[in-house]
Amino acid sequence: MATNITFHPGSVSAEERAQLLKQKGITIWFTGLSASGKSTIACALEQHLLHLHRFTYRLDGDNIRFGLNKDLGFDEKSRNENIRRIGELFADSCCITLTAFISPYRADRSVARELHEKAGLAFIEVFVDAPLHVVEQRDPKGLYKKARAGEIKDFTGISAPYEAPENPEIHIKTDECDVTEAVKRITAYLTEKGFI
């Protein structure tokens, strides 16, 4: 841990940033099994919110591991650190941040939520839910097949656990609704709660 650093505050307050951007920062945290539809819905929602002139940015689990988190594996400790790092990003930017991560552990999602609550920022958990047999049929990357064959260890849903959210703000069953309907439901929630 670095000890020779000092936090340098900016000259723009959180209130001023929110007033100028005409929005407050929130994080919409998509969680669910691989191939449940997290990234697909997050991409569509990002497009929709940008067309509404909302400052929005999407972070995707695979994409983050090409850069910021390329030093992390998929064991439990690495997964914990992956989610901790993501929870710290964009916290006070007044951005609507969309995060699409399996984030299999409730405790890690709780840490991300607590970071937001301490900063006075909204955290909206979206459970992108699809049964295991459905995601195995989708399997766009062939990962479930490899996991079942023992070629991938610590694969969520097969050889590693996924702890479903107990009380997500939004629960979307992607075997029962399409992407357009999912975006409508999330947008309706954001509108109802006064986020957009």
Catalytic residues: 103
Coil vs helix vs strand at 153? coil
Other CB atoms within 10 Å distance of the CB of residue 165: 19
Helix then strand count (H, E) for the chain reads 8, 5
H or E stretch at 20: helix 14-21
CA dist., res. 52 & res. 60, Å (int): 21
H or E stretch at 99: strand 96-100
Q: What is the CA radius of gyration of the chain?
A: 17
State the distance between the two ends of the chain, measured CA to CA, in whole angstroms. 39
**In 3D, which of 9, 32, 64 has the Cα closest to residue 173?**
32
Q: Which backbone phi and psi does 177 adopt, to 5 degrees?
A: -145, 155
